[in-house]
Structure 1
Amino acid sequence: MAGSQIQKLAFLAGILLILVNLGSSALHRIPVQRSPSFKRSHKMIVAERDFIQQKYTRQYTANGYPVEQLSNFDNFQYYGNISIGTPPQYFLVQFDTGSSNLWVPSSSCLSEACQDHQTYYGSESSTHVANGTAFSITYGTGSVTGYLSMDYVGFAGLIAKNQTFGEVTTEVGTNFVDAYFDGILGMGFPSLAVDGVTPTFQNMVNQGVVQSPVFSFFLRDNGSVVNYGGELILGGSDPSLYRGGLTYVDVIQAAYWKFQTDFIKIGSTLISTFDAAIADTGTSLIVAPVAEYTQIAQLFGADSEGTFQCTSLDSYPDLVITINGVDFRIQAKYYIIQENYLCSLAIQSISGQDFWIMGDVFLGRFYTEFDVGNQRLGFAPVNSAISARQLALWQIFTLALACGVWKLWY
């Protein structure tokens, strides 16, 4: 399906979600999709490990621009619909708590990667304000360059006025040619932002359009609803999506969403004590410091790429991450990928890093609240079943597609 068609369908899903949730004024929701072609494999694990190495090794170009690494479209990414401009122009973006900038392709972009994606037309928006500051972002096999602009940005029913974002005019490399999303919306802290740009959610908080300076993610990587990846909720948390209460932990560095763990174990084997970790929705894997990863690999007899012979995952122990005195358990079937008689660890390592990165292997198991105001994170086990509200939404969405509602946009 072409990127523009996917974008239109996502817009329809957003409208339906608003209709389903008219009774809730405190929480603002946006449905989050996941790449329909994704299949976690050893090849993808290795590819993403290399991407993460680049993402968390900040570099600078010859022109002095910060380098922020961007992932390949095959990684396990979650994305949803936003609008930019007046009248609104719609885009699919990856919501990434591991970065802090928003960028989308510009209408002046002639690169192949821009041809099948939504592009922004500043001339067609009455709220567009030119900025012109140049920026450059480098990623794995290429780069994006462009300039900064300002406009209204909306998602989950809220509008951030005068939001500065990047208009990409050149995309070099193949990473985004077949991507299911158009751009990136970073949800890290302001100190992480390239060019000192205020992040979109922080602007919403500053402008008083969100009731509480909190957002939360409910992420799913399986289930009966095709491509339903969960929800991004602005303004708080939805207790119906998790079990028990949230376990809170303070952010120890307000750039990435970094917190401190108590212990990390494989079964009863202690792997680390009081290590720092980052909650990153733009990452699929769990990434460990080299020394800790080496210990884990030795437990499984894994080679340098984390592979080992296996027959069944039932005999392998849980990965246990203790946060603020509470154990968060991840079964082996989530952190080990089996392909016939070869298994691959979805726990990897990168050089020069002394903290853990908790991607989807962790975040897909635990509802996560990102409390900007109190600079803390809250975790709780996700509900195993899709709620009646969510199921109704996606049944309506599927019915609308079957009836050909999308043809209205042709």
Structure 2
Amino acid sequence: NDQSSQYLIEVGVGTPPQKFTVTFDTGSADLWIPSSKCPARSCPFTRFNEAKSSTFKPLNEKFGIQYGIGSVNGTYATDTVTVAGAAVKNQQFGLATITKEILALPSGANSSSTPSVSGNGILGMGYPSLTAATTENETPYNPFVFNLVQQNIIQKPIFSVYLNSATTEGWAGEVMFGGVDSTKYEGDIHNTPGADSSYYYWMVYGQGIAVRNGIKDHDWKLKSTGGFILDTGTTLTYLPLNIATDIASSFAGEDGYKVDRQSGVILIECSAASSNGTVELLMSRSSSQTSQNPVTVETSQTCLFGIAPTMTTGAGIGSNMFLIGDSFLRSAYLVFDLGQNQIGLA
């Protein structure tokens, strides 16, 4: 848990493995790390030394992704990729030669004063059709988790995610490849079918959004069935402006919040964190996921609200599709089923 902004996982690339701590991201599909050719101003942390890996193979293919915030460009390669002792051979991945607004040092910091753990790349967990290769008119390839299945490293085609609470810092969460950790949740896991028949995003059908036990309760029904994209690589949850501000008002009152014009986020009085209010995402088959109170990072006398309006960010995917980020997902135990194209929630 990197200050509630992202969740990191350690991967090893090459033979012998070179270690990188990268963002765990269900909203993208590519693994990428900094190349030795990436300048320090663009890749300020550890860079991959291709010459030191006996299994490294370059590919003559371009690699590039434009995220909601930031971008990365470089080339593809293959090598052995290891996570928690599980090694995938000949895994395709991106080697970044330039990044923008992703790997920047904190304000006022330098390479000698960086924290011991910094996000230094991304491990995408999405479907093959979401890989950046498709945008370059290249053939989609199997991301890491799909190769775990194909190479018979895991027997069940699932991975399970437990992010833990926003205030539990350090190595506080867990991802289990090929199984479910019953010690991390209570009750039953409710499976919801994937809403993306093109096998692109980890997305479930959305029916509506509701506020319960707030200053004022709300129910919003989508005019037609929508999609909730469950994205561990996104810090906040993005909803239409009127819904986001009505939810903030339900937690803090009409005068207890404001939309920051510069950043586009909602700042809210920290006292709202003690509210008994919850936000529900109404999904298909009458299942619902209840969020914890979405007040997150404290900044002086105000706090960052875990919900932001789509109109101020590139996070709005479509008119009826919404990014559900860590501010919601940390309140659930998630089971992503590659074989059935479904997501279980507890």
Q: How far 1:366 sits from its partner (Å)?
A: 0.6
Match of 1:232 in 2: 175
The answer for unaligned runs of 5 or more in structure 2 is 107-116, 134-139, 261-265
What amino acid does structure 1 have at the position aligned with 2:229? I
Cα pair 2:59 2:78 within 8 Å, conserved: yes
Match of 1:256 in 2: 201
Alignment of 1:143-182 (within 5 A): 143-172=71-100, 175-178=103-106, 180-182=118-120
Tell me, in whole angstroms, the C-alpha distance in 1 between the residues paired with 2:270 and 2:173: 32
Distance change (3 Å), C-alpha of 1:157 and 1:285 = same
Tell me, in whole angstroms, the C-alpha distance in 1 between the residues paired with 2:326 and 2:69: 23
What TM-score does the superposition give when structure 2 sets the normalisation length? 0.78
Distance change (3 Å), C-alpha of 1:328 and 1:126 = same
Out of 213, 216, 228, the position equivalent to 2:160 is 216
Match of 2:211 in 1: 266
What amino acid does structure 1 have at the position aligned with 2:29? S
Distance change (3 Å), C-alpha of 1:223 and 1:291 = closer
Cα pair 1:214 1:371 within 8 Å, conserved: yes
Percent identity of equivalent pairs = 31
Out of 133, 143, 153, the position equivalent to 1:199 is 143
- Report which stretch shifted further, 302-311 or 91-100: 302-311
What amino acid does structure 2 have at the position aligned with 1:260? Y
SS at match of 1:287: strand
Q: How far 1:209 sits from its partner (Å)?
A: 1.5
Matched, 1:82 2:42: no
Cα pair 2:8 2:21 within 8 Å, conserved: yes
Cα pair 2:192 2:287 within 8 Å, conserved: no
Cα pair 1:111 1:171 within 8 Å, conserved: no
Tell me, in whole angstroms, the C-alpha distance in 2 between the residues paired with 1:100 and 1:142: 16
Matched, 1:184 2:122: yes
Q: How far 1:83 sits from its partner (Å)?
A: 1.2
Tell me, in whole angstroms, the C-alpha distance in 1 between the residues paired with 2:188 and 2:155: 21
What amino acid does structure 1 have at the position aligned with 2:45? D
Distance change (3 Å), C-alpha of 1:379 and 1:361 = same
Match of 2:291 in 1: 330
Distance change (3 Å), C-alpha of 1:173 and 1:371 = closer
Tell me, in whole angstroms, the C-alpha distance in 1 between the residues paired with 2:299 and 2:50: 48
Q: How far 1:368 sits from its partner (Å)?
A: 0.5
Tell me, in whole angstroms, the C-alpha distance in 2 between the residues paired with 1:343 and 1:115: 29
Cα pair 2:45 2:120 within 8 Å, conserved: no
Distance change (3 Å), C-alpha of 1:269 and 1:111 = same
Q: How far 1:309 sits from its partner (Å)?
A: 5.4
Distance change (3 Å), C-alpha of 1:361 and 1:147 = same
SS at match of 1:259: strand
What amino acid does structure 1 have at the position aligned with 2:235? S
Tell me, in whole angstroms, the C-alpha distance in 1 between the residues paired with 2:276 and 2:44: 46
Cα pair 1:287 1:349 within 8 Å, conserved: yes
Q: How far 1:316 sits from its partner (Å)?
A: 5.2
Tell me, in whole angstroms, the C-alpha distance in 1 between the residues paired with 2:68 and 2:322: 21
Tell me, in whole angstroms, the C-alpha distance in 2 between the residues paired with 1:341 and 1:223: 18
What amino acid does structure 2 have at the position aligned with 1:199? P
Q: How far 1:167 sits from its partner (Å)?
A: 1.1
Distance change (3 Å), C-alpha of 1:272 and 1:134 = same
Cα pair 2:237 2:328 within 8 Å, conserved: yes
Cα pair 1:282 1:359 within 8 Å, conserved: yes
SS at match of 1:204: helix
Q: How far 1:154 sits from its partner (Å)?
A: 1.2
SS at match of 1:146: strand
The answer for unaligned runs of 5 or more in structure 1 is 1-33, 41-75, 381-410
Cα pair 2:92 2:141 within 8 Å, conserved: yes
Distance change (3 Å), C-alpha of 1:85 and 1:326 = same
What amino acid does structure 2 have at the position aligned with 1:355? M
Match of 2:29 in 1: 100
What TM-score does the superposition give when structure 1 sets the normalisation length? 0.67
Match of 2:325 in 1: 359
Match of 1:285 in 2: 236
Matched, 1:347 2:285: no
Name the structure where helix makes up a greater proportion of residues: 1
User: In the comparison of the two structures, how many residue pairs are matched?
Assistant: 306
Out of 99, 110, 114, the position equivalent to 2:43 is 114
Cα pair 2:272 2:295 within 8 Å, conserved: no
1:305-327 deviation per Cα after TM superposition (whole angstroms, max 9, x unaligned): 43455755445522123333344
1:217-273 deviation per Cα after TM superposition (whole angstroms, max 9, x unaligned): 11123566x512311110021111110110110111121111013442111420234
- Report which stretch shifted further, 128-137 or 184-193: 128-137
Cα pair 2:270 2:295 within 8 Å, conserved: no
